[in-house]
Chains A and B, each alone.
Chain A
């Protein structure tokens, strides 16, 4: 049973436009959410996170939105750049656990078209 879902396996976006990556979760106990970026043959690297007490968190070109009632979060990248082409994973953790026990989605491969 996939508790964190990324329903779009792939996404192509023109350079300079906005990229929107979506993530849904089913476990209402999740209270902290993270986005990781992964290039081929490398480990995932942390991008941005959000606590369930917030509905938005920004870091430069990256913004994460959280809709708790819909159990949905999204990552916005504006403007998109060729270096953003990678696989993006959504991850979640629940109370009493920290980053030692993350539940990941299946990932979305983002391709930025020059």
Chain B
């Protein structure tokens, strides 16, 4: 059981380049989210989705796009990378409804923008 899979694990981009961070889950979870982790800032929510075809902005959405065409996949797109987007990115998924559930996280993607 793979859980939440993120690819790539590491990436270096030049300023202005675009790329897509992939996230897939095999637990049939409705909820999926993207967070970034920066030193001294904890994890901050970028975008989230409550089901296929439905996405919404989190706390720090600028410079990122998402789509949710299937239940399993939730890619995060950087349109024009900036050094401020250097961070570790985590994808998470969880079931709906019952609050007594947990969010499962992927292993993370470490992105450096030079």
Contact = CB atoms under 8 A, between A and B. Distances in A.
Contacts of B58: 101
B102 A43 contact: no
Contacts of A106: 40-42
Given A42-B108, A104-B42, A106-B41, A98 B32 contact: no
8 contacts: A44-B90, A44-B105, A46-B103, A46-B104, A93-B99, A98-B99, A105-B42, A106-B42
Contacts, number: 75
Contact of A100 (B40, B42, B94): B94
Contact of B101 (A36, A41, A98): A98
A26 to B, nearest CB: 14
Contacts of A98: 31, 94, 96-97, 99, 101
Contacts of A43: 4, 90, 92, 105-108
Interface stretch (B12-20, B43-51, B76-84): B43-51
